Amino acid sequence: MNTDLLIERYLEYLAIEKGLSKNTVVSYRRDLAKLQQFLEEEQGTALADAQQTAIASFVAEIRRNGASPRSVGRAISAVRGFYRYLLATKRIPSDPTMNIESPRLERRLPTVLTEEEVERLLAFNRRHEPLDLRDTAILELMYATGLRASEVISLKMGDVHLELGYVRCIGKGSKERIVPVGSKAIAALELYISGCRNALVSRTGTRALFVNSRGEALSRQGLWKLIKKRVRAAGISRRVTPHTLRHSFATHLLSHGADLRSVQEMLGHADISTTQIYTHLDKSRLKQIYLAAHPRAQSRAE
């Protein structure tokens, strides 16, 4: 099997079997293309014949070219996964990436809105105009559930059970999870569905929960635009993304006493270490409060 076909089979495996996102698959394709070019031009060898020294030289090369530790780590993940796939399918006798180490990444704390900022964002512009109802319902739901942007725009009417107070969503790796929804989000959704959505979809018949002005399923770009619009109108100067609401959801739950395992389950994290970053964030916030408020923690002018 030629090299290009091997790469395509691997990328299909990632998309179909592993459920990786389209963006991740595109990034992995780019990294493997760089490796293929490097091996052919600098090492005179094919992907399937590469040895550990050649892979190490490739990693050193992308570092010399100024790639960030995060980009280097992603490239190593793409290459390591590819060779493990070849090994598992018996196309190579050994894994040339076995001793290749990924760079240690400094875990950056995510941006989180304060509870007061969330209130301003959710309370603004409740004029009961059709798309205002939709925008409020989306923001209320995202803050109430911590859903990812892709999960929100993928919701169908049958995924929302307002009378029981939960939504069903399909997350990363095509894993299903059930997330509770609070009373304010339920009220906003009911108002949106009866006062806006039903009229819009009468022309299209779509089952999508959130739709645009044409009655079609809301796109990721449309979601970004409405969030930017509401953030600007609420007078919030910081950059806010759909993921900011997810971060805020998790941090505020933990700060009010929720246990880590429950937050992990609601976020759909496979590994609890991913959820633990929010405990660090809360400790960071507590430290700031302490330094600002404790009389012997403050530096005083002479």
Question: What CA–CA distance (Å, rounded) separates 280 from 164?
Answer: 33
The one catalytic residue among 230, 246, 247, 252: 246
| 269 is known as an active-site residue | yes
Token code pair at residue 14: 């990632």
The one catalytic residue among 10, 83, 192, 278: 278
| 148 is known as an active-site residue | yes
Residue 85, by phi and psi: left (phi above 0), alpha (psi -120 to 50) or beta? alpha
| 278 is known as an active-site residue | yes
The one catalytic residue among 148, 230, 247, 252: 148
The one catalytic residue among 34, 74, 197, 269: 269
State phi, psi for 270 to the nearest 5 degrees.
Answer: -70, -35
The one catalytic residue among 9, 172, 184, 285: 172
Q: What is the DSSP string of the chain?
A: --HHHHHHHHHHHHHHTS---HHHHHHHHHHHHHHHHHIIIII---GGG--HHHHHHHHHHHHHTT--HHHHHHHHHHHHHHHHHHHHTTSSSS-TTTTPPPPPPP-PPPP---HHHHHHHHHTT----HHHHHHHHHHHHHHHH---HHHHHH-BGGGEETTTTEEEEE-GGG-EEEEE--HHHHHHHHHHIIIIIHHHTTTT---BSSB-TTSSBPPHHHHHHHHHHHHHHTT--S---HHHHHHHHHHHHHHTT--HHHHHHHHT-SSHHHHTHHHHHHHHHHHHHHHHH-TTTS----
| 166 is known as an active-site residue | no
| 28 is known as an active-site residue | no
Token code pair at residue 130: 């059709």
The one catalytic residue among 29, 120, 243, 285: 243
C-alpha angle with apex 212: 234 to 202, nearest 5 degrees? 135
Active site residues: 148, 172, 243, 246, 269, 278
